[in-house]
């Protein structure tokens, strides 16, 4: 019925059905997924008979997990459900690619989203309503974000459902100031169909000082494949010298610099006109900017052994000799390859808000 190993029951298995017919000649497969997007399943298979079962728009159901694929004795598996969007026939081996039901949102009929229908509604529930489409299960979307729609938000007009949902999530940023987070921490809501057809909205919190990671990567745990942790450092958002000037009176201003950051990365200054004549408030804004932008954004691409069960939004802790301190990051993308061996690669590290987004949130903290 697919790729699985009866001799080694802890091996990962893969069972594929197309329009409820088992695909018996699977030779390899790959699953890819990123936050706020559709999960894709690419499958290679042999035989003309199997190819005849494939058609554009066919329903694909994939079960994968560890153990023998018998639901009576093994229930902790995952399911992909989607439709075939591309077929590449071959003489001996053919391939198809299917996308999960998020693709229905991206390709939906256009809808006119009118402001009067949404102003005052929680962004979370507005996005959930838009997700309730073509068989997507929205039964878990009951939490709410506490961020309410205003007329100034760029949400309205003719859009596909996914364009409206993406616009909602672009506004769903939460400003946190408490003793469990760094000052002015911003958390970002994300969405994905992580299993079957069930839509999830989730709010990763890697900066929480009591965050419990799904896995810790370390030499002691021996869970790194071929030392394959690749760091990616983005310095484009660094600000280590800031001038904040009152929008109403240019003689009132605050200037701050972070000399430690300047020693590492050079002087990178920025200017901000801010709607306040309170010098203390201007100084607080300047401090907040430096605190959040003085260091580069660091993300990782990592291959893990025996951790194909992690998913988008899960936290990974890095405890490596090459890092000056332990670091906890959020999984934002992954790829699982099913070939002669199983390789899982995760992209870890959530994108940070831009300078302008940060300032906009500081201006309107009560809405968030």
pLDDT at 358: 82
* Six token digits for residue 169: 């999530």
Q: What is the pLDDT of residues 110-153, one digit of tens each?
A: 999 999 999 999 999 999 999 999 999 999 999 999 999 999 89
What are the tens digits of pLDDT across the range 285-315? 998 888 888 888 888 888 876 667 789 999 9
- Lowest mean pLDDT across 132-141, 178-187, 224-233: 224-233
Q: Which of 40, 161, 149 is nearest to 110 (CA)?
A: 161
Cα end-to-end distance, the chain, whole Å:
49
Domain boundaries, the chain: 2-100, 104-204+355-367, 215-234+297-348, 241-293
The CATH architecture assigned to 2-100 reads Beta Barrel (2.40)
What is the torsion angle, in degrees rounded to the nearest 10, for the CA atoms of residue 277, residue 278, residue 279 and residue 283? -110
User: Quick one: which of 132, 137, 15 has its CA closest to 80?
Assistant: 15
Distance of CA 236 to CAs 241, 259, 332, 361, Å?
A: 14, 18, 20, 20
Residue 350 has pLDDT above 80, yes or no: no
- Round to whole Å and give the CA distance between 129 and 275: 36
Does this model's pTM top 0.75?
yes
Which helix (H) or strand (E) segment is 28 a member of?
A: strand 26-34
């Amino acid at each position: 019925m697919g790729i699985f190993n009866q001799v080694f029951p802890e091996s990962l298995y893969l069972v594929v059905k197309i329009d409820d017919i088992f695909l018996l000649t699977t030779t390899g497969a790959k699953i890819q997924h990123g936050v706020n997007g559709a999960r894709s399943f690419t499958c290679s298979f042999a035989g003309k008979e199997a190819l005849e079962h494939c058609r554009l728009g066919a329903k694909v159901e994939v079960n994968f997990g560890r153990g023998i694929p018998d639901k009576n004795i093994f229930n902790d598996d995952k399911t992909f459900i989607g439709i075939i969007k591309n077929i590449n026939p071959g003489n001996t081996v053919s391939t198809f690619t299917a996308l999960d039901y998020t693709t229905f949102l991206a390709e939906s009929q256009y809808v006119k989203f009118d402001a009067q229908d949404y102003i005052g509604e929680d962004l979370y529930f507005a996005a959930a309503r838009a997700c309730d489409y073509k068989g997507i299960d929205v039964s878990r979307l009951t939490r709410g974000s506490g961020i309410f729609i205003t007329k100034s938000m760029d949400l309205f007009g003719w859009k596909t459902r996914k364009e409206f949902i993406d616009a909602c999530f672009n506004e769903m940023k939460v400003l946190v100031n408490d003793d469990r987070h760094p000052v002015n921490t911003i958390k970002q809501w994300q969405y994905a169909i992580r299993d079957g057809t069930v839509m999830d909205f989730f709010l990763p919190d890697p900066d929480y000082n009591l965050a419990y990671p799904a896995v810790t990567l370390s030499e002691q745990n021996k869970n790194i494949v071929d030392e394959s942790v690749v760091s990616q450092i983005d310095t484009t958002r660094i600000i280590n010298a800031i001038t904040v000037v009152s929008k109403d009176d240019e003689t009132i201003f605050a200037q701050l610099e972070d000399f430690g950051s300047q020693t590492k990365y050079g002087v990178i200054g920025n200017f901000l006109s801010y709607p306040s004549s309170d010098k203390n408030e201007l100084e607080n804004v300047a401090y907040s900017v430096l605190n959040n932008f003085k260091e580069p954004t660091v993300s990782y691409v990592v291959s893990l052994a025996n951790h194909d069960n992690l998913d988008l939004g899960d936290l990974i802790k890095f405890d490596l000799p090459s890092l000056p301190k332990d670091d906890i990051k959020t999984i934002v993308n992954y790829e699982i390859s099913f070939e002669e061996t199983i390789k899982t690669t995760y992209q870890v590290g959530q994108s940070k808000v831009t300078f302008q987004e940060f300032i906009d949130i500081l201006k309107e903290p009560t809405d968030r």
